[in-house]
Amino acid sequence: MKEYYNPPKETPYLTADYIDKVGVQTHLYGIYMRDVRIGYMKRLMLPTSDGYKLFEEGNMKISFLGEKKEIVMNMYSDMDKSFRLKTFVAQINSDKENIQVKGEMEGSSIAITLNTREQKNVYRMPMKERPVIPSAIVPYMMKSGFTKDATTNIAIFDPSTVTGYSADVMQLGWETITIEGEKIRAFHIKTLFKGIEIHGWVDETGTIVKELSPVGLVIQKEREKDEKEPDTYFDANLLASVETVGRMDNARNVSFMKIRVDAKKELVDILQKYNTVSGNIIAVQKGDLSSLHLNPESFLAPSPFINSDDIVIRGFVPGLIKNHIDDTEKVRAMMVWVYKNVKKRPTFSLPFAKDVFVKKIGDCNEHAVLFAALARAARIPCAIASGMVYTNGNFYYHAWNLVYIDGRWVSVDSTFGQFPADATHIILAIGDISDGIEIMQFLKNIKIEIVEARQ
């Protein structure tokens, strides 16, 4: 191994003591997609008298549906001596889109403040225990030392998606990997949450040298260089598309669809939760969601993204539905309003309903969170469905809504102006917009063959 990666001698390898002894650590990482560098990230860890401070700066270049965006991400977090979260500030900037998320542990909850140029929202997220942010998983594990084949369950909070979850961190052992042409010894860990696997490799000093996400995103340690190759804009459409065999004409008018799915068992299991599946054949009938067994009461409360308690939204809804008595017509009025008033344009930021209501711009995610906020403000149970839909010759990632009216669940797609939605909608996750994260790892590993489509 070359000197660049060799830690100082007599170092307490893979222990938190190393961080305290070395002091300030700064690391540069390249962000790659399909072997193309699309951005960078810098991390700075600073020991303090009562814990640690972590600073992160990132930049990515993304294109989607013909629009190019440079996304700038910055985060500061303050952690205790065990690397559990105390406070954080995260900011995401993209063109004219600016979002700031601030949080502070208060007892067993995180007090979260979401700020955009036009809106501010305060939300409290209960946590079973004080969480660890994703970037602090490795130093947190170093407190107890790495042990081959051991598994540790950790409470995680991700400021970039404003979500909390439980993750299993599996310690797979020492391996030899190549970083920038050099072979180094690294400890392999796997983080598993919501069915998603993220692999990481840690060198003998506890420095993360490589991370691999299921969608193919690679974060790899780099030297500080005087000059770097210009980063390339990555077409995010490649992540959202699914390999499709066959065609459907007039997809928005399809009332019955049958497809054959070639996918991993984990995906087939998810499909069976929400769809009619026989073997590897999925049959979808427009308007038939009888296979869903969801508690409507679970889809009435506000969330960080579905701001149904916002005073402006709550004040707007009564006027929108005042001429409609039954819930079916109320849903239709809200769907039509969102469809007509929100301009269809790809965005690269977190979709908050309050923000969408003011800006009236967005893709399917923005349409879904805004409609959900309107429906819940009207006391109509509403969930966000994430999955796939057929359009422009392929199946693509998509988000829409499910409402509970007249004792049953009905699909609503305000992006396409449909109530109920057409039969090309395939559900993979139900809940909030953040629940769609669990399906992204599967899209690049799915192959769909269209067997039958009727209008």
As a residue count, the chain comes to: 455
Query: The tokens 């700066």 sit on which residue?
Result: 57
**Max alpha carbon distance in the chain (Å)?**
77
Dihedral sign for Cα atoms in the order 253, 285, 247, 238: positive
φ/ψ region of 161 (left if φ > 0, alpha if ψ in -120 to 50, else beta) reads: alpha
Indicate the pairing of strand 234-235 with strand 217-222: unpaired
How many angstroms separate the Cα of 261 from the Cα of each of 103, 247, 425? Answer: 42, 15, 14
Cα–Cα–Cα angle for 191, 194, 200, rounded to 5 degrees:
15
Name, in order, each residue with C-beta under 8 angstroms of 109's C-beta and a sequence gap of 6 or more: 124, 125, 126, 127
pLDDT for 23 equals: 56
| Cis status, amide bond into 420, omega within 30 of 0 | yes
Tokens of 263: 């996918």
Residue 317: count other Cβ atoms within 10 Å of its Cβ.
22
Give me the amino acid identity at 64.
F
Q: Using CA atoms, how far apart are residues 14 and 142, in angstroms rounded to an integer? A: 6
Given a contact cutoff of 8 angstroms between Cβ atoms, the answer to whether 221 and 406 are in contact is: no
No. of helices (H) and no. of strands (E), the chain? 9, 26
| pLDDT given at position 47 | 87
Cα distance between residue 259 and residue 246, in whole Å: 10
- To the question of domain 16-235 being in CATH 3.30.70, the answer is no
Closest CA to 401 of 319, 455, 331, 351: 331
Which residue is it, tokens 């499709």? 244
pLDDT for residue 227: 46
Predicted pLDDT of residue 24: 64
pLDDT of residue 16: 52
pLDDT at 258: 92
Multiple choice CATH, 238-454, 1.10.1670.10, 3.40.640.10, 3.10.620.30, 3.30.43.10: 3.10.620.30
Domain ranges within the chain, ordered by starting residue: 16-235, 238-454
- The C-alpha angle with vertex 285 and arms to 282 and 287, in degrees rounded to 5, equals 135
Q: Running DSSP on this structure, what letter comes out for residue 38?
A: E
Give me the chain's average pLDDT, please. Answer: 84
Residue ranges of E strands in 180-294: 182-193, 196-202, 208-212, 217-222, 234-235, 241-245, 256-262, 276-278, 281-285
pLDDT tens, 112-168? 988 876 677 788 888 888 999 988 988 888 877 777 788 989 999 988 888 888 899
Question: pLDDT in tens for each of the 455 residues of the chain?
Answer: 333 334 334 333 445 555 555 556 788 898 888 788 888 899 888 888 899 999 999 888 877 767 777 888 899 999 999 899 999 999 888 766 778 889 999 988 999 988 876 677 788 888 888 999 988 988 888 877 777 788 989 999 988 888 888 899 999 988 999 888 888 889 999 998 876 788 999 887 778 899 988 777 889 998 765 445 556 777 777 667 788 898 998 999 999 999 998 877 777 777 888 888 888 888 999 988 888 889 999 999 998 889 899 899 999 999 999 999 899 999 999 999 999 999 988 777 778 888 899 889 888 999 999 999 999 999 999 999 999 999 888 898 899 999 999 999 999 999 999 999 999 999 988 988 877 766 766 777 788 899 999 98
**Residue type (1 letter), 138:** V
- pLDDT for res 420: 93
